[in-house]
A = this chain, B = another copy of it.
Amino acid sequence: MKFTLSHKDPESKARAGELVTDRGTIQTPMFMPVGTQASVKAVSQADLAQRVKAQIILANTYHLFLRPGLEVISKAGGIHKFINWQLPMLTDSGGYQVFSLSEIRKIKEEGVSFRSHLDGSKIFFSPEIATDIQRTIGADIFMAFDECPPYPCEHKYAKESMHLTHRWLMRCINRFNETEPLYGFEQSLFPIVQGSVYKDLRLESARFIADQDMQGNAIGGLSVGEPLEQMYEMTERVCEILPVEKPRYLMGVGTPANILECIALGIDMFDCVMPTRNARHGFIFTSRGIINIKNEKWKFDNTPLDDLFTPEYSKAYVKHLIKCNEMLGATIASIQNLSFYLWLVNEARAHIIEGDFMNWKKNILPVIMVKL
């Protein structure tokens, strides 16, 4: 993996770059659609590549471990072959899901014992196991196994949790260094900055993570319920410490506005279920503003859902499909929302290169965030 920064915005910390992997180049800033269970919900791989123009997609280690299981993925020759996706992929470590989906869990130094949210069966994840699993899955980028503390969270807990995450990181890196990719493509391990909303912890964590000198760095534990200002402040402080020449990935963020603001703070990579989840509920991001397609006002509106991304389907038709729970409604809305997100980060990139990013951001935000 090779990351090259080509442009820096003169008025902010925004940057444009290229992340070259064995499976293709990711132009940053970039948004990564989330394919939790080895499928970006309701969207085919062909539509992801050709319509949405996704350059990298995510999958989820915890979910893949449960279904289809490692043996299936291994025998398929890795996740890319299993799902027929030739471009880069990223897996998260499963840490977040262990803490968010599993009600019964026990955290020890060695790792986490928890029960499957599907059938209650006992599972144990450790930094070594999470690393081995992600070797078997075979994503181009994979994440260190961390504890993602809840919000709100006392300083004491956040501090201990962060130190545990740091110790786990060292074990992840050791295991990563001891092992090789299984399918002939390079894999990179990204460590994760934690520390909840505490500036001192975030700074300490960012320094620790930066010191590991991995190929890219991530910020976790944000967008979990904290006020927006705190999310931006933590991101800003951490970005000041994380090395300039490495890609920075802000996990699980966020709204279109969140993404533009965090690009301005120096973030290069984003992922979020929002575009696909909102789509299934009829909340549509368009180049002209936000639409709740279930609203009666769209009933007779035969103009395209969005001229740019879904010119062939009218608002009235998509409203009908979503109302009737027809799968095609979820598909059209998901393609629309993801296309919009990819368009947004590509536009941001173009304006960083152009040199007018902050001015463009100021002008575009009221347009895209207005409720139609």
A317 touches B84 (CB 8 A): yes
Complex CA gap A369/B300 in Å reads 46
In the complex, whether A162 has a CB less than 8 A from a CB of chain B is no
Complex CA gap A46/B317 in Å reads 15
Copies of this chain: 2
B72 touches A316 (CB 8 A): yes
- Chain B residues with CB below 8 A from A71, complex form: 300
In the complex, whether A330 has a CB less than 8 A from a CB of chain B is yes
In the complex, whether A2 has a CB less than 8 A from a CB of chain B is no
Q: A293-347: which have CB < 8 Å to B? A: 299-300, 302, 312-314, 316-317, 319-321, 323-324, 326-332
In the complex, whether A43 has a CB less than 8 A from a CB of chain B is yes
A328 touches B39 (CB 8 A): yes
Other-chain residue from B43, B77, B299, B327 in contact with A42 (beta carbon distance below 8 A): B327
Other-chain residue from B41, B43, B314 in contact with A76 (beta carbon distance below 8 A): B314
A326 touches B37 (CB 8 A): yes
Instruction: Spell out A's residues near B (CB within 8 Å).
Output: 37-39, 41-46, 67-68, 71-72, 75-77, 81-84, 299-300, 302, 312-314, 316-317, 319-321, 323-324, 326-332
- Chain B residues with CB below 8 A from A84, complex form: 312-314, 317
Complex CA gap A317/B83 in Å reads 6
Complex CA gap A323/B118 in Å reads 12
Complex CA gap A43/B75 in Å reads 30
Question: Least Cβ distance of A72 to chain B in Å?
Answer: 6
A38-B317, A39-B321, A72-B320 provided; 6 other pairs, C-beta below 8 A?
A37-B320, A39-B329, A68-B299, A68-B320, A76-B316, A327-B327
18 CB < 8 A contacts A-B: A38-B326, A39-B324, A39-B327, A41-B328, A42-B331, A46-B312, A67-B323, A68-B319, A68-B320, A68-B323, A72-B300, A72-B316, A72-B320, A75-B302, A76-B316, A77-B302, A82-B316, A84-B312
- Chain B residues with CB below 8 A from A41, complex form: 326-328
- Chain B residues with CB below 8 A from A330, complex form: 327
